[in-house]
Chain A
Amino acid sequence: MKEVIQGIPLNYYLFLSTVLFSIGVLGVLFRRNAIIILMSVELMLNSINLLLVAFSAFHGDAKAQVFVFFIMIVAAAEVAVGLALMVLIYRNIKTLDIDFLNKLKW
């Protein structure tokens, strides 16, 4: 398996994850629905996981893969909190469009 991963040049992984990461960033910046923003953040995190696994195979050390586990766990915890917050907000204002969150402006 390691040979297969290493058969593709490292730069390809780097480009792929950078592109995925950028798609995630653009999603966060331009989408207005809180859930889609959250999904874009997940896309960012998963592009990082991909990159870490690729680096891990190239360096031949498993630390990065354990790090990926940590990222997954923390992402799950974050999503749980985030979705709970969104449910809370949906109950109060009946929408998840972040443009309606404008109470705090001077």
Chain B
Amino acid sequence: MKSIVLLSLLGVTSMFAGVFNYRKLILPIILIGIAAAIGLFVDQWGMNKSFYQMAFFDNYAIAFSCLLLSVSFLIFTLALYHYRKEGDIVTDLYALFIFALTGGLLMTSFSNLVMLFLGIEILSIPLYVLAGSRRADLASNEAALKYFLMGAFATGFLLFGIALVYGASGTFDLAGIAAYVKAGKDIPDFFYVGIVLLIVALLFKVSAAPFHFWAPDVYQGSPVLVTTFMSTVVKIAAFAAFLRLFNYCFTPLASYYEIILTAAAVATLLIGNVTALYQQSVKRMLAYSGISHAGYLLIALVVMGASATSVVFFYSAAYAAASLVAFAVLTAVMENKEGRESFETFKGLAKNNPILALCMSVAMLSLAGIPPLAGFFGKYFLFATAIKDGYLWLVLVAIFNSLISLYYYLRVIINMYSSADDEVPAFTPNYALVLMLLLSLGANLALGFYPDLLMGLLG
């Protein structure tokens, strides 16, 4: 709880950085603040503190919160590079990022449906603004409006679901709902409708098919740093909330909604991967790749059980580490090619900036799941758990999709290692970009060589 308070204050601090003129100091303050928040969380490990039955900080919440905080730390390091020439508006953007992150932390630690709703909204509302933060750019405007309308629409479903669940069980408390489901005495039909509506809303938020259509547009239109935040922090927070809610409350009723989640997982995998094949923009391709990874994570949700939590945690950490590298390189390339983002833009990167090209290759291979990188172990643990629980056919679908995904990940690498007239010029990345790449690449390799670092964490 302390770190959530700390982050709110940090957000207010950076909100006032512009008007009280300590702009130069704000990024170091934010980075120190986030590191301190991680420290405060680690300090709470294993204590299972509850906060007025509103938030419950068990190891699950702490692990996911630390993951979100670390990813945000790296994104702010990237901001140090990306926003180095921007003017006044930047401190407000930082404040919005931090408020959104606070919402994400609430989504990992809620123990009451009120907090789930507030967490999702605190995460979403700053993001609507962030998506539109390039005010003169029509694409950014459009992304913001689409994200806003779709987000508000999904919120409606979430709330209707919450209302129905409350109507049947008479409580918003997760423990109370779990007890109600376990007792299982004359559960009215509308309770099941409530569960389905909750699934719909959360599928919206994790951008899984058939509710994924907003994601590519929003990801492509938003400024690249915001896209990075959305495809890592937002996605992980939404999955953490999804898993926490369903694992805690509704497992006895799994047979009723399992079919919906399975169908969504298969559809997400197929649509995400197949559509990614014919994209022209790397940013949009990464959006579809994010959708397909949501499909893999949904498989973990279908499989459920205590083992699913550690698999989801490891998988999201591996996905975030690889995505961060990919987006960092994309940011650097776009900056040196007047903001263009097609596959062809990457031509000549290997010749002129071999280190960046190497980083990008590692990221792409990790996303595709090539051993010994982190992404491979994420998929390996996921498939192993699924097969053990008798979902062999689902695993076969997933493996088939991994093979499809190889095509578009390799396409980036091939473009980087080929030459053209209009190549990426040689440039020296500044210290922040180097630091950020080193840290996330290190995380990638560390998770690849020592997967037990995170795998055993949640038991």
Contact = CB atoms under 8 A, between A and B. Distances in A.
B16 interface: no
B217 interface: yes
In this complex, the interface size class of chain B, counting residues with CB under 8 Å from chain A, is 35 or more
A61 B160 contact: no
A85 B141 contact: yes
A66 B113 CA distance: 12
A4 interface: no
A85 B415 CA distance: 37
Contacts of B144: 85, 88
Interface in B163-187: 163-164, 166-167, 170-172
B448 to A, nearest CB: 33
A55 B163 CA distance: 8
A98 B153 CA distance: 15
Contacts of A8: none
A90 to B, nearest CB: 10
Interface residues of A, number: 45
Interface string A63-76: 11011001100100
A74 B190 CA distance: 25
A51 B221 contact: no
A71 to B, nearest CB: 6
A48 B156 contact: yes
Interface in A90-105: 92-93, 98, 101, 103-105
Interface string A29-58: 000001001100100110110011001001
B146 interface: yes
Given A34-B149, A55-B163, A104 B139 contact: yes
Interface in B216-260: 216-217, 220-221
Given A38-B152, A55-B163, A85 B170 contact: no
Nearest to B113: A67
A17 to B, nearest CB: 8
A32 B220 CA distance: 22
A56 B143 CA distance: 38
B274 interface: no
12 contacts: A25-B156, A41-B149, A44-B156, A64-B166, A64-B172, A70-B117, A88-B135, A88-B144, A89-B142, A89-B145, A92-B138, A93-B138
Given A67-B117, A71-B117, 18 more contacts: A28-B153, A34-B145, A34-B149, A38-B149, A41-B152, A44-B160, A48-B159, A52-B163, A66-B114, A71-B159, A74-B125, A78-B125, A81-B128, A85-B141, A85-B144, A88-B141, A101-B142, A104-B146
